[in-house]
Amino acid sequence: MPTSPSWGSRKRCQGQLTQGQLTQVTQVKTGTTTLASNASYYPNGALAQFTYGNGIVHTMTQNARQLPSHSVDGSVLDLSTVFDENGNVAAIRKRCQGQLTRGPQEAATATRPRKLPLIANT
């Protein structure tokens, strides 16, 4: 039988468990809003698919090593992940409106905040 644990002292989100796995998350305030539903899992426990509250379906495909190789969010986002021989991310490819490839070096510099010059007090 599904159970509904809640998180937080104000009971803002509520989850539904089926066979020990989270299958639905709802926000509970004045009404109930579904944030994610219809979650399914691979035998290794990794999330395979779920539906966002707005109806977009997220699907994740694993490679032979059971690492996430392809992630699709409806027609909004399509990502492929390439791993090196040690299982580290080597590249993430965005396959929506053209092709964009980011390796670890480019990703690190893209997210690094720009350093501002030091200005001395006068």
Range of the domain at 103: 56-112
pLDDT at 8: 54
Question: What residues are paired with 7 via a beta bridge?
Answer: 13
Mean pLDDT lowest for which of 11-20, 29-38, 59-68, 75-84?
A: 11-20
> Of 38-52, 86-100, 102-116, which has the strongest mean pLDDT?
38-52
> Higher pLDDT residue, 19 or 47?
47
* pLDDT of 13 above 90: no
Which pLDDT score, from 0 to 100, does residue 23 have? 76
CA 95, 99, 101, 107: dihedral to nearest 10 degrees?
-80
Q: Is 122 domain-assigned?
A: no
34/69 same-domain check: no
**Domain count along the chain:** 2
Q: Are 34 and 53 in contact (CB under 8 A)?
A: yes
Q: Is residue 73 part of a domain?
A: yes
